[in-house]
Structure 1
Amino acid sequence: MTAVDTSWIAVPRRRRNGWKGLRAFVIRWGALVALGVVWEVAARLIGSPFFPPISKVIGRFVDLWFSGPPSALFLTERFGTDLLPSLGRLFGGWGLGVALGILLGVAIGRSRTFGDYVEPIMHFARAIPPPALLPIFFILLGIGDGMKISLIAFAVVWPVLLNTIDGVRSVEPLHLDTSRVFAFPRGKIFFGIVLPSASPKIFAGLRVSLAVALIVMVIAEMSSTSGIGYNVVIAQRSFQMLDMWAGILVLGIIGYVLTAILSLVETRVTRWHQGSREGVQ
């Protein structure tokens, strides 16, 4: 029997995927451009000093942080006093919360007995809004970066923890039974079966936790002397509306860029999961 050449099928499929990606890109950026146009027109029609046009907000955004000399890569001094401290607190708190959430989630998900002991405490603690704990963190840890990073980590840990527990407990039992039959070592079971199987739900928790981290960072910085949150509050209190909106714009850009990077990582890590879903469909 002669083999049938099916390589021609891949060409139209790649072409369809390319058109689909281009269409998604045009729709995504077209929506942002349309939003900017609506904002510009609405702000000029309203004429309120509290709602400036997006063109002025972007201009102020560039003046504040990206109008420096070429030798400094066009970064201003305020970039180091405003953006860098906020990014350091954001990544520090998010990274700490993610690490704790995954470690505890795997432990609870793998041990029903351990979960029975700690889950009531866990559900009680996660029901407390993190901003309500700001005075307690302030009393215990002071006003420094340690307090802000700890508060961000406390808020981040819960969506990661819950999704990790759910992901670990939803691992296919047949895969675990097969690994026991072949006497796989625990490390191979964990890194080769449990963690990959739970990774789609873990990434779902990471996406939620990233947005939570950005929100709590702004709240924590309201009692600080540096950072984006601090500058937004000071600008609002001094009626510097362009500075306030520029701070809000940079927060949106940070959130969008970090979410896009996380989505790229998720696509590469969970490529097998996307392929299995397409195969089912």
Structure 2
Amino acid sequence: MTAYPGRTVAPPRRRAVGHRTAAGVLHALGLPMLLLVLWGLVATRTTSRFFPDPVTIADAFVDTWIGPAFVEDVLPSLARLGLGVAASIVLGVAAGTVIGLTPWLRELLEPLLEFLRAIPPPVLIPVMMILLGITDTMKVVVIVSGAVWPILLNTIEGVRGIDSVLTQTARSFQVTWWERLWFLVLPAASPRIMAGVRQGLSVALILMVISEMFASSAGLGYRIAYFQRNYLIAEMWSGIMLLGGVGVLLAVVFGLVERRVLRWYHGIREVNRA
């Protein structure tokens, strides 16, 4: 802080950081607030009961989700989503690393992987219901069946793209296989892995909802479909808003984790940009 007679002025750098923070918050909230205002104006001029105003949806949100429904529907859905994402990351990174490091295995599995990736995960839900029953395990498996592919394929490409000079140098210094894997392979492939995780999160959220719309009696997807079938329009919109909020929360949490995991990568980019 710089002191002047009668006042205290923040340094220019601190003021600049504050201005950037305020501008970032304004940019993040400006468009959503504008859309809410436009939504409210349009809703007041229409007589369609399928397009309620934001205030009605907000009231329905409080009445519907603040209470037992949060424990009975939201928390189990989030738990299944978390399990599905965690399993997808473990399977995708482990299998992708092995396949990426083994050229003959990669060539052998490439046609099969392309075939399996082309199958839309929702069409597997009836098969999963027959094999696993209408259980939480079935819903988690459905999430994994779609979310694992972006992680797996990005991990394979990330491992394949490691500079051969680095690999040869590590071998010449007789670095062990586990040390190469932990200190060379995974860090070098981590930007692609994190890109795959980001894509997998979006797919997992979609499949969480779809899996709960089939022969289910609880969960966010079931509840939204129930509201739609019974023409509870405001409640249906409130469920959609809740799903959007979950998506935003996932994006924020992932952004924090990504900045920590790829701190070295973003530092190199900043240096190169300067």
TM-score by length of 1: 0.89
CA deviation map 1:14-38 (0-9, x unaligned) = 7655543432221011112112111
The correspondence of residues 44-123 of structure 1 with structure 2, limited to 5 A, is: 44-66=44-66, 76-123=67-114
Residue 233 of structure 2 is matched in structure 1 by: 241
Once residues 14 and 162 of structure 2 are traced to their aligned partners in structure 1, the CA distance between those partners, rounded to angstroms, is 32
- CA 1:174–1:25 in 2, change beyond 3 Å: closer, same or farther? farther
Task: Between 27-36 and 245-254, report the one with greater CA deviation.
Answer: 27-36
Root-mean-square deviation (Å): 1.5
Which letter maps to 2:107? D
Does residue 1:26 correspond to 2:26, yes or no?
Answer: yes
Q: Distance in 1 between matches of 2:39 and 2:196?
A: 32
Aligned to 2:124: 133
What is the CA distance between 1:228 and its match in structure 2?
0.5
- What is aligned with 1:71? none
Displacement of 1:194 in angstroms is: 1.0
Identity of aligned residues (%): 42
Instruction: Note the C-alpha offset of 1:56.
Output: 1.5
Change (3 A) 1:94 1:35: same
Q: Does 1:265 pair with 2:265?
A: no
Cα deviation digits, residues 209-255 of structure 1 (max 9, x gap) = 11101111111101210001001101000000011011101100001
Which piece of structure 1 moves more, 88-97 or 235-244? 88-97
Equivalent position amino acid for 1:193 in 2: L
Letter in 1 for 2:39: W
Q: SS of the counterpart of 1:46?
A: coil
- DSSP 3-state at the match of 2:48: coil
Query: C-alpha separation between the residues in 2 aligned to 1:186 and 1:19?
Result: 48
**Cα distance, 1:198–1:19 mapped onto 2, change above 3 Å:** farther
Q: CA deviation at 1:172?
A: 2.0
Alignment-derived partner of residue 217 in structure 1: 208
Residue 122 of structure 2 aligns with an amino acid whose one-letter code is P
Asked if residue 280 in structure 1 is aligned to residue 247 in structure 2, the reply is no
Q: 1:174 to 1:12 in 2, by over 3 A?
A: farther
Cα distance in structure 1, aligned partners of 2:106 and 2:198: 24
Matches within 5 A, 1:111-190: 111-190=102-181
Q: 1:69 aligns to what?
A: none
1:231 to 223, 227, 237: 223
Counterpart residue type for residue 64 of structure 1: T
Aligned-residue offset at 1:174: 2.1
Count residues in correspondence: 262
Q: Which runs of 5+ in 2 are unaligned?
A: 1-10
**Structure 1 residues 270 and 14: alpha-carbon distance in aligned structure 2, compared to 1, 3 A threshold:** farther
Q: Structure 1 residue 40 and structure 2 residue 40: aligned? A: yes
**Structure 1 residue 133, shift from structure 2 partner:** 1.1
Cα separation, partners in 2 of 1:18 and 1:176, compared to 1, 3 Å: farther
1:112 Cα deviation after fit? 0.7
Secondary structure of the equivalent of 2:45?
A: helix
Q: Which amino acid aligns with 1:201?
A: R
Residue of structure 2 in register with 1:7 after alignment: none
What 5-or-longer segments of structure 1 have no aligned partner?
1-10, 67-75
C-alpha separation in 1, matches of 2:77 and 2:29: 27
In structure 2, give the amino acid aligned to 1:101.
G
